[in-house]
């Protein structure tokens, strides 16, 4: 369980997050949505201890993220951020194998190799395993990064806008893979998404932020209504239901 | 690493090891003094020459070459930029400033004390460089090396000015232009500390590779990023400072060797680090041997040789089409 209590964050004079409290139960996919600058990525990076906590408390499985040793947290939660510039020439298999680092600190056992192979397979990377990452397309690269996070074998997986730069096919593939590991491996996934319909189709719960505050929180079918969406994004949009999934027609 | 890649790297390993061994023997035989191999064990003078001059000189070239290549690799990892190295980004210049100040205020200081002062100054100078480099926009990769050049140039200018004022300019060139001709037994042994740094780098190779993925990814994988940054800085500073103190600065080694190895083998340092060290040693020792032969019986300093050879290799690296293997 991720428990966020009264978390605030400011950068200089700008208040990024206002007194956020949120509890994310174990298991399932929680999508963080909201307009640009709402504080979604900041909240995610606070959970992942990538920046210091200024006010409030965050615990993951009871461990305080700002007081638990980094290497212990790395076995509980994995974070994937948008590192737009990839300067390292690593092969896909090498990158994924670094997901095992928190466990063996660099020493790989046969069990580690099995997990690496499984991660490669899970994200359809077996054929690309010996390619250098810089030679891959954006979608393949993104999958390699997710596979590394998966190989970390943490209960919690935090992903910051993983669908950026992905075309429809790979975006769908990635979301389906995430759904699968949530269902089959019991992972808890917190994901920042811009595509509200991906959130509607794949998430169990949507948390909407606006100007550093939580403005809506609930299951997709409850949350994706014209009225709530207007409150979040500031304009009116039609919502249709197709096969029990709400579809937001935000592009018209 | 895959089986194919492992096979290729073991083949490359043999080639590198063999080349280094040949150069090692060759370097022992090349020089102005007469040293007939057949008389080595009957003629005491020949053996003396080997042990006092040739062997230390050869070992120094290998230690400095391997060290500078590793220092370059780590510097590039810390700055997350392929075009920086200690000689061009202020590390070497800071080390020179350190020695100069010690020479001015404690003229009788030992080589070890000078090395310590040079290392401390290098650490400070490199930290300042990195703090600034991390603030530059990552979308402009050439800003980092450009800033490094300017930064190193400013410190270098301060060093020259100080040396001019103190009438130490001649002395200064001993540190700014690398030269192995002064290396004798008893005058190079500090360089083994540099070898120790290379060993430490090899121990933390996995961590260094992860660091190259960036701060967020490193923390996500449970790395103590700040501490690794300090360790990396220490390795770079100590190696550069020792080289400057003992033989003088040698440019380009730290720049071209890691870049070539990265092109050929990638950036997984657990696998590539030995090759970076070996290639650095080969390049520096090769240049030193060439420098001894070109104007025989006179010598061209290795710093000058490397300026030409390294510069050419660097231009080749820049102008050849980027390969996407």
Q: Provide the shortest C-alpha distance from residue B178 to chain A (in Å).
A: 31
Contact A162, A172 (CB under 8 A): no
Q: Report, at the CATH architecture level, how domain A2-76+154-249 is classified.
A: 3-Layer(aba) Sandwich (3.40)
| Domain contains B223 | yes
Tell me the ipTM for this assembly: 0.85
Residue B41 domain boundaries = 3-319
Cα A168 to Cα A70, A202, B189, distances in angstroms? 36, 14, 62
Edge-to-edge strands, sheet with A188-192: A77-80, A156-160, A188-192, A28-33, A205-210, A213-218
Contact A222, A230 (CB under 8 A): no
Q: Which of A122, A130, A113 is nearest to A157 (CA)?
A: A122
Q: How many CA atoms lie within 13 A of A44 on its CB side?
A: 29
Q: At what angle do helices B191-203 and B55-79 cross, to 10 degrees?
A: 40
Residue at token pair 């699968």:
A180
| Domain contains B325 | no
Say whether B221 and A74 touch across the interface (CB within 8 A).
yes
| Domain contains B127 | yes
Average pLDDT over every residue of B112-120: 89
Partner residue facing A101 (CB), from B82, B206, B216: B206
Q: What is the pLDDT of residues A154-204, one digit of tens each?
A: 999 999 988 887 888 888 988 998 999 899 988 999 999 988 899 999 999
Q: What is the pLDDT of residues B240-286, one digit of tens each?
A: 988 888 888 898 999 999 999 998 888 889 889 999 999 999 999 99
Q: Which residues contact residue B65 at a Cβ distance below 8 angstroms, ignoring those fewer than 6 apart? A: B250, B253, B280, B281, B282, B283, B284, B285
Residue B201, pLDDT above cutoff 90: yes
| Domain contains B324 | no
Say whether B210 and A101 touch across the interface (CB within 8 A).
yes
Angstrom distance (rounded) from CA B50 to CA A199:
74
CATH code of B222's domain = 1.10.3470.10
| Domain contains B81 | yes
SS (H, E, C) B226-277: HHHHHHHHHHHHHHHHHHHHHCCCCCCHHHHHHHHHHHHHCCCHHHHHHHHH
Structure tokens at B297: 């019986």
Angstrom distance (rounded) from CA A97 to CA B2:
12
Partner residue facing A93 (CB), from B2, B210, B224: B2
Structure tokens at A133: 């990452």
Partner residue facing B212 (CB), from A70, A87, A134: A87
Q: What is the pLDDT of residues A209-249, one digit of tens each?
A: 998 899 989 898 888 888 888 888 888 888 888 888 888 88
Residue at token pair 């360089």:
B191
| Domain contains B262 | yes
Residues of B in Cβ contact (< 8 Å) with A135:
324-325
| Domain contains B101 | yes
Q: Could you write out the DSSP letters of every residue in B160-204? A: HHHHHHTT-HHHHHHHHS---TT--TTSSTTHHHHHHHHHHHHHT
Of chain A residues 171-230, which have a CB less than 8 A from chain B? Answer: none
Predicted local distance difference test score (pLDDT) of residue B39: 65
Q: Which of A238, A170, A226, A176 is nearest to A201 (CA)?
A: A176
Instruction: Categorize the per-residue pLDDT at B324 as very low, low, confident or very high, splitting at 50, 70 and 90.
Output: very low
Instruction: Categorize the per-residue pLDDT at B27 as very low, low, confident or very high, splitting at 50, 70 and 90.
Output: confident
Residues linked to residue A22 through DSSP beta bridges, in sequence order: A4
Give the residue on A whose Cα is nearest the Cα of B210.
A98
Say whether B206 and A70 touch across the interface (CB within 8 A).
no
Q: Three-state DSSP class for A147?
A: helix
The total domain count for chain B is 1
Contact B175, B246 (CB under 8 A): no
Partner residue facing A87 (CB), from B82, B210, B216: B82
Angstrom distance (rounded) from CA B290 to CA B296:
10
Residues linked to residue A57 through DSSP beta bridges, in sequence order: A5
| Domain contains B54 | yes
Structure tokens at B51: 């042990």
Helix, strand, coil percentages for chain B (3-state, nearest 5): 75, 0, 25
Instruction: Categorize the per-residue pLDDT at B36 as very low, low, confident or very high, splitting at 50, 70 and 90.
Output: low
CB atoms within 10 A of CB B294: 11
Spell out the domain ranges in chain A: 2-76+154-249, 87-153
């Amino acid at each position: 369980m991720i428990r966020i209590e009264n978390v605030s964050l400011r950068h200089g004079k700008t208040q990024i997050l206002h007194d956020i409290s949120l509890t994310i139960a174990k298991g399932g996919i929680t999508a963080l949505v909201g307009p640009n600058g709402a504080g979604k990525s900041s909240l995610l990076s606070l959970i992942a201890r990538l920046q210091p906590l200024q006010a409030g408390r965050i615990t993951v499985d009871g461990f305080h993220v700002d007081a638990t040793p980094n290497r212990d947290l790395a076995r509980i939660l994995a974070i994937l951020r948008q590192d737009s510039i990839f300067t390292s020439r690593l092969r896909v298999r090498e990158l994924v194998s670094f997901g095992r680092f928190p466990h063996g600190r660099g020493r790989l056992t046969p069990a580690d190799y099995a997990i690496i192979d499984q991660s490669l397979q899970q994200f359809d990377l077996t054929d690309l395993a010996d390619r250098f990452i810089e030679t891959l397309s954006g979608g393949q690269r993104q999958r390699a990064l997710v596979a590394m996070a998966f190989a970390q074998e943490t209960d919690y997986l935090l992903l910051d806008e993983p669908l950026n730069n992905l075309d429809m096919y790979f975006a769908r593939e990635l979301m389906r893979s995430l759904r699968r590991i949530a269902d089959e491996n019991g992972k808890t996934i917190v994901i920042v998404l811009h595509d509200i319909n991906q959130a509607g189709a794949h998430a169990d719960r949507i948390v909407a932020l606006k100007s550093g505050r939580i403005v809506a929180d609930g299951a997709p079918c409850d949350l994706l209504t014209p009225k709530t969406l207007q409150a979040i994004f500031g304009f009116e949009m039609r919502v249709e239901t197709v096969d029990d999934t709400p579809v937001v027609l935000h592009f018209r | 690493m895959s089986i194919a890649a492992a096979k290729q790297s073991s083949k490359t390993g043999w080639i590198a090891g063999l080349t280094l061994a040949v150069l090692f023997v060759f370097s022992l035989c090349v020089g102005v003094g007469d040293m007939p191999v057949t008389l080595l064990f009957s003629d005491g003078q020949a053996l003396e020459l080997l042990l006092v001059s040739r062997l230390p000189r050869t070992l120094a070239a290998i230690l400095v070459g391997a060290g500078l290549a590793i220092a370059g690799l780590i510097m590039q990892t810390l700055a997350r930029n392929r075009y920086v190295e200690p000689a061009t980004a202020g590390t070497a210049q800071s080390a020179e400033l350190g020695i100069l100040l010690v020479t001015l205020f404690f003229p009788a200081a030992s080589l070890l004390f000078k090395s310590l002062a040079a290392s401390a100054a290098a650490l400070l100078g490199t930290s300042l460089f990195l703090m600034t480099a991390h603030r530059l926009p990552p979308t402009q990769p050439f800003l980092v090396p450009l800033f490094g050049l300017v930064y190193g140039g400013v410190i270098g200018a301060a060093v020259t000015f100080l040396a001019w004022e103190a009438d130490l300019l001649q002395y200064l060139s001993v540190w700014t232009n690398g030269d192995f001709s002064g290396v004798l037994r008893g005058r190079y042994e500090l360089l083994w500390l540099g070898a120790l740094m290379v060993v430490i780098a090899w121990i933390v190779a996995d961590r260094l590779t992860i660091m190259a993925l960036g701060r967020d990814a490193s923390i996500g994988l449970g790395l103590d990023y700040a501490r690794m940054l300090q360790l990396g800085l220490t390795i770079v500073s100590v190696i550069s400072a020792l080289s400057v103190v003992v033989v003088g600065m040698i440019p380009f080694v730290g720049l071209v060797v890691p870049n070539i190895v990265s092109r050929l083998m990638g950036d997984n340092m657990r696998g590539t680090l030995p090759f970076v060290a070996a290639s650095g040693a080969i390049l520096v020792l090769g240049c030193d041997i060439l420098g001894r032969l070109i104007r025989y019986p006179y010598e061209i300093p290795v710093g000058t040789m490397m300026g030409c050879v390294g510069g050419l290799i660097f231009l080749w690296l820049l102008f050849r089409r980027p390969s996407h293997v």
